[in-house]
Chain A
Amino acid sequence: QQQVKQSPQSLIVQKGGISIINCAYENTAFDYFPWYQQFPGKGPALLIAIRPDVSEKKEGRFTISFNKSAKQFSLHIMDSQPGDSATYFCAATPGYKLSFGAGTTVTVRA
């Protein structure tokens, strides 16, 4: 049973465009929401994370938006670049283990 639902499964965006990935959860015990980036043949790597008491967090071209009442959060990749082509996973943790979404494969076309 997947505790974090992620969409879309894949997306294609033109260079310079905005990529948006959405996630939803039910477990109110989750208290930290990270995003991981995985390139082909590599392990996932932490990209950015947010706590539920913050509605938005920005790091460079990556922004997390968090809606606690709706139990939803999203990743926005601004000015998408070909080097951003990867699989992105949202995740959630109650403090001792991560539950991952199913992943979104982002392809940025030059």
Chain B
Amino acid sequence: DTAVSQTPKYLVTQMGNDKSIKCEQNLGHDTMYWYKQDSKKFLKIMFSYNNKELIINETVPNRFSPKSPDKAHLNLHINSLELGDSAVYFCASSQDVEDSYEQYFGPGTRLTVT
């Protein structure tokens, strides 16, 4: 059983389109995260939710909108995609906010914008 799963694994789309990435965790964790990993492998946090409430919102363009329908799911919707959005997006979870040092990452979604 995959602990943190993401769909799709690959996403190729054109500039200006809208796309969504879904994430689910079956670990019973309270806190979930979205990260962006660029071509230089730098990992940057984008958002964090704790018990469906947004607790971290880094300086991310408002074209990116996270949604947490329940504790086990955190989806990422991206409007008006741009070339610079091409990256690998990782979902992660931790038991709770205080355990943020121990995060479980999904396999990633490679987004390519052409």
Contact = CB atoms under 8 A, between A and B. Distances in A.
A46 B107 CA distance: 14
Interface residues of B, number: 24
- Considering residues B41, B43, B45, which has the most beta carbons from chain A within 10 angstroms of its beta carbon? B43
A96 B55 contact: yes
A89 B44 CA distance: 12
B90 A102 contact: no
B101 A32 contact: yes
Contacts of B44: 100
Contact of A89 (B43, B100, B101): B43
Interface in B33-59: 33, 40-45, 48, 55-56
A50 B99 CA distance: 13
A49 B103 CA distance: 12
A97 B105 contact: no
Interface of A: 32-34, 38, 41-46, 49, 87, 89, 91, 93, 95-100, 102-103, 105
Interface of B: 4, 33, 40-45, 48, 55-56, 90, 92, 97-98, 100-108
Given A46-B102, A102-B40, 19 more contacts: A41-B107, A41-B108, A44-B90, A44-B103, A45-B105, A46-B101, A49-B102, A89-B43, A93-B100, A93-B101, A95-B98, A96-B97, A97-B45, A98-B101, A98-B103, A100-B42, A100-B44, A102-B41, A105-B41
